[in-house]
């Protein structure tokens, strides 16, 4: 591999990069400064809305401690295998997903495999930014001292139906994402992650400690942490599997793209373990924040927790309003929620733009403009879907719910399946192992091969079938 170093100027910022023969001529590929910057950026991508509202309600609904145990096992096996694979393929080819698949073949299956991975973040980021806008609005209201107003019945439903306001918050959140993206990989993404991720941990610890020390909270902590055999069911495994996928940002091209921005000296195995630790620790802290607090508030009635997505925007504001220091806890919670949403949205946006840069060979600002167009179309449809566009339903779903279903339940399992097949049938385990071993010994190589070959394809099939069955109302997730 020929390596040569050169400096380029992007908007006055010097980015050091090492090019490889796989880079397209004359174009500088962004680069993380090293292991820590990379780990924080991937952790920033992984820790998102999924950890903070999705994990606690799924854990509460599907067996508390038992769910946690199953989830942890899946993260260190199935999740680990997929993260290592996507990162190694990204670094090996120095491309985002379409180019990475193309590097091994140009026939239709390779194109489908690459594009399905690449299109997922393009469809997710617009609606993710709509939810990011909701978070920003709540944060602003807490900062203005309106915690009681947020706790009123019907506040959230009225807000998401108020087309103009939702659209403005969506645009504001998206503008913040673009601002970071335009600053580049190291000066933008890495810098923001380095500041926001440690702050996020501190805020999460503050809210979790406050929540578990409320009188009566201990019962909730026990339910969340202690596995009981009688709480185990098939649905525990299915829900934990889906959540693992969602939470670790697998099958949406992000790990390919971020993998293409790291040097050959970054230890892929170690950084994967660190990202998994970080992501799981935040999910655990979120569980500690939410489950005991809801337990106390509802007098031990777990039905309140099963509220699902509305938990963060309807139930929690009511709980905060009933607490002393509730306004402060609300600020801490929504600030943390905002950091989590922003860093994840950045990774989704960067992956989309990187695909355009690689495939269209356009400049970064031009690719950003194309993404602005996608955001305005898909994002505005999602943001207005509960208001002005309420009358439009796709398979009975509002736009936001439909894009969420399409990406998470259909496209992501297909994307992950394509990656598994690419490695099993074309790339081969030895080349992946060779890529990992460029920086360190591949300590869990046997485990990796076993999980990628036998466990991952079966698990992915189960996720696909169960999530479609969920939408059709055959099962209830």
Binding site for ligand PFF (CB under 6 A): 46, 48-51, 124, 128, 246-247, 249, 344, 407-408
**Cα(18)–Cα(5) distance, rounded to whole angstroms?**
5
Residue 361 backbone class (left: φ over 0; alpha: ψ -120 to 50; beta: rest): left
> Token pair for residue 95?
């491309």
Please give the angle made by the CA atoms of 25, 29 and 31, to the nearest 5 degrees: 155
Q: In the bound complex, what is the minimum distance in angstroms from residue 394's beta carbon to ligand PFF?
A: 17
- Find all residues with CB under 8 Å of 54, minimum gap 6, and list them: 243, 246, 247, 309
Q: In the bound complex, what is the minimum distance in angstroms from residue 411's beta carbon to ligand PFF?
A: 10
> Token pair for residue 153?
């019945």
Taking the least distance from each CB to ligand PFF, the nearer of 130 and 305 is 130
Taking the least distance from each CB to ligand PFF, the nearer of 53 and 110 is 53
> Token pair for residue 140?
């602003």
Taking the least distance from each CB to ligand PFF, the nearer of 236 and 407 is 407
Taking the least distance from each CB to ligand PFF, the nearer of 246 and 386 is 246
- Find all residues with CB under 8 Å of 256, minimum gap 6, and list them: 86, 87, 89, 90, 95, 96, 97, 100, 117, 351
Q: In the bound complex, what is the minimum distance in angstroms from residue 467's beta carbon to ligand PFF?
A: 12
Q: In the bound complex, what is the minimum distance in angstroms from residue 93's beta carbon to ligand PFF?
A: 23
Taking the least distance from each CB to ligand PFF, the nearer of 49 and 400 is 49
Q: Which of 131, 128, 419 is nearest to 255 (CA)?
A: 419
Q: In the bound complex, what is the minimum distance in angstroms from residue 404's beta carbon to ligand PFF?
A: 7
Which residues pair with residue 16 across a beta bridge?
7
Alpha carbon separation from 257 to 91, 320, 411, 425 (Å, rounded)? 8, 39, 18, 22
Q: In the bound complex, what is the minimum distance in angstroms from residue 49's beta carbon to ligand PFF?
A: 4
Taking the least distance from each CB to ligand PFF, the nearer of 323 and 416 is 416
Taking the least distance from each CB to ligand PFF, the nearer of 85 and 408 is 408
Q: In the bound complex, what is the minimum distance in angstroms from residue 277's beta carbon to ligand PFF?
A: 15
8 A C-beta contact, residue 308 and residue 73: no
Q: Tokens 């990774």 — which residue?
A: 347
Q: In the bound complex, what is the minimum distance in angstroms from residue 429's beta carbon to ligand PFF?
A: 26
- Find all residues with CB under 8 Å of 377, minimum gap 6, and list them: 126
Taking the least distance from each CB to ligand PFF, the nearer of 203 and 296 is 203
Q: Which of 359, 401, 353 is nearest to 375 (CA)?
A: 353
């Amino acid at each position: 591999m020929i390596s040569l170093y050169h400096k380029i100027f992007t908007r006055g910022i010097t980015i050091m990069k090492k090019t490889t023969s796989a880079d397209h001529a004359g174009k500088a590929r962004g680069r993380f400064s090293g292991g820590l910057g990379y780990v924080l950026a991937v952790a920033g991508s992984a820790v998102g809305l999924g950890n903070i509202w999705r994990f606690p309600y799924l854990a509460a609904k599907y067996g508390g401690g038992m769910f946690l145990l199953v989830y942890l096992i899946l993260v260190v096996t199935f999740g680990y295998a997929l993260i290592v694979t996507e990162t190694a393929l990204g670094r090996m080819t120095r491309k985002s997903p379409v180019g990475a698949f193309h590097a091994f073949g140009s026939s239709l299956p390779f194109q489908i495999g690459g594009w399905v991975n690449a299109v997922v973040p393009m469809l997710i980021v617009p609606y993710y930014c709509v939810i990011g806008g909701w978070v920003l609005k709540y944060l602003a209201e807490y900062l203005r001292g309106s915690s009681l107003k947020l706790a009123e019945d019907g506040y959230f439903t009225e807000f998401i139906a108020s087309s103009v306001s939702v659209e403005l918050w969506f645009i504001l959140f998206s503008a913040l994402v673009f601002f970071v993206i335009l600053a580049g990989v190291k000066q933008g993404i890495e810098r923001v992650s380095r500041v926001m991720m440690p702050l996020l941990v501190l805020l999460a610890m503050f809210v979790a400690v406050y929540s578990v020390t409320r009188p009566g909270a201990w019962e909730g902590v026990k339910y969340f942490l202690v596995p009981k055999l009688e709480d185990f069911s098939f649905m525990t495994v299915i829900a934990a599997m889906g959540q693992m996928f969602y939470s670790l940002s697998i099958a949406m091209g992000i790990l390919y793209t971020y993998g293409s921005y790291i040097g050959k000296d970054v230890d892929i195995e170690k950084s994967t373990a660190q990202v998994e630790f970080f992501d799981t620790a935040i999910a655990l802290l979120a569980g500690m924040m939410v489950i005991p607090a809801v337990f106390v508030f509802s007098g031990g009635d777990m039905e309140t927790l099963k509220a699902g997505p509305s938990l963060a925007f309807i139930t929690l504001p009511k709980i905060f309003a009933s607490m002393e220091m509730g306004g402060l806890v609300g600020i801490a919670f929504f600030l943390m929620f905002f950091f989590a949403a922003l860093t994840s949205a950045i990774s989704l946006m960067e992956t989309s733009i990187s695909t355009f840069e690689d495939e269209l060979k356009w400049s970064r600002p031009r690719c950003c403009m194309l993404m602005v167009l996608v955001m305005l179309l898909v994002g505005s449809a999602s943001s207005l879907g509960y208001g002005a566009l309420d009358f439009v339903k796709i398979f009975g779903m509002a736009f936001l719910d439909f894009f969420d279903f399409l990406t998470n339940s259909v496209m992501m399992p297909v994307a992950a399946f394509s990656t598994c097949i690419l490695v099993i049938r074309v790339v081969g385990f030895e080349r992946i192992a060779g890529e990992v071993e460029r920086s360190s010994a591949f300590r869990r190589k046997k485990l990796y091969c076993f999980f990628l070959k036998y466990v991952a394809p079966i698990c992915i099939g189960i996720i696909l079938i169960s999530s479609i069955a969920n939408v059709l109302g055959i099962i209830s997730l």
